[in-house]
Amino acid sequence: MPPEPPDDERNVHGEPLQPCSTDPMTGALRDGDCHALPRDPGRHEVCAVMTEAFLEYSRAQGNDLITPRPSMNFPGLSPGDRWCVCVPRWLEAAEAGQAPPVVLAATNESVLDELSLAQLERHAHDASD
């Protein structure tokens, strides 16, 4: 049985955490949300909109997010898909100038221990997030 996520999770603006994506289904629990879970060492907590540049960057770093892996319940991603990405990978991509846009309403506030709100807002998907 998968762990139950907290029901009071908040986004980076301190508001209730919104779903990131249900098509494709994302998150460490594959329930659509970017939960902060102790059992998720990868910290899939940043809701990002995939870009060609980020997908190619991630593949070059050894994490191919493009190729489907049905045995792992992974559909493969395309530009425009929303996906809960790992905090360290998003930060690494940002430092390389390849960070994908962030959906602030669906990004877990827990990321603020490593990323600043200003940094995330500079990469916001759109101003109405």
Please state, in angstroms and rounded to a whole number, the distance separating the CA atoms of residues 101 and 97: 11
Helices then strands (H, E): number in the chain? 3, 2
CA distances to 15, 21, 70, 84 from 106, rounded to whole Å, are 10, 9, 25, 9
pTM for this predicted structure: 0.91
**Stretch 87-105: mean pLDDT, rounded?**
96
Q: Residue 70's beta-bridge partner residues?
A: none
Q: What is the pLDDT of residues 39-94, one digit of tens each?
A: 888 899 999 999 999 999 999 999 999 999 999 888 999 999 999 999 999 999 99
